[in-house]
Amino acid sequence: MLTPAEADQLIGQHLQCLPIESLPLAQCAGAVLRENIYAERDQPPYDRVAMDGVALDSHAVSAGRRSFRIQATQAAGDAPLTLDTRQGALLLSAGRRLRAPEIAIAASAGMARIRVASQPMLAVISTGNELVEPGEPVLAHQVRRSNAYAVVSALRAHGFQRVADDHIRDDAEELRERLHFHLETHDVLVLSGGVSMGRFDLVPQVLGELGVRTIFHKVAQRPGKPLWFGVAPSGAAVFGLPGNPVSTLVCLTRFVLPALRGSLGQSPQPAQRMALAAPVTVTPPLTHFLPVRLEQDDWGREWAVPAPTNGSGDFTGLAGTEGFVELPPGPNTYAKGFVTRLFRWS
Same domain assignment for residues 190 and 148: yes
Same domain assignment for residues 135 and 253: yes
Query: Residue 55: pLDDT above 90?
Result: no
Same domain assignment for residues 49 and 194: no
Domain that holds residue 41: 29-117
Q: Is the peptide bond before 226 cis (omega within 30 degrees of 0)?
A: no
Query: Residue 311: pLDDT above 90?
Result: no
**DSSP assignment of 67-98, as one string?**
---------TTSPPS--SB-TT-EEE-TT-B-
Position 339 in a domain? yes
Number of domains in the chain: 3
What's the pLDDT tens digit per position in 223-259? 999 999 999 999 999 999 999 999 999 999 999 999 9
- Residues 223/324, Cβ–Cβ less than 8 Å: no
3-state secondary structure at position 258: helix
- Residue type (1 letter), 134: P
Position 23 in a domain? no
Position 24 in a domain? no
**Final residue of a structural domain among 242, 263, 284:** 263
Determine which of 39-48, 197-206, 313-322 has the lowest per-residue pLDDT on average.
39-48
Q: Quick one: average pLDDT of 101-122?
A: 95
- The pLDDT value given to residue 334: 98
What percent of the chain clears pLDDT 70, i.e. is strictly above it?
94
Q: Which CATH number does the domain housing residue 157 bear?
A: 3.40.980.10
**Final residue of a structural domain among 88, 117, 146:** 117
Same domain assignment for residues 51 and 191: no
Q: Which of 344, 346, 333, 345 lies closest to 276, judged by CA?
A: 333
Same domain assignment for residues 228 and 90: no
Position 79 in a domain? yes
Query: Residue 128: pLDDT above 70?
Result: yes
**Final residue of a structural domain among 208, 240, 263:** 263
The whole-chain average pLDDT of the chain stands at 91
What's the pLDDT tens digit per position in 7-41? 999 999 999 889 999 999 999 999 999 999 999 88
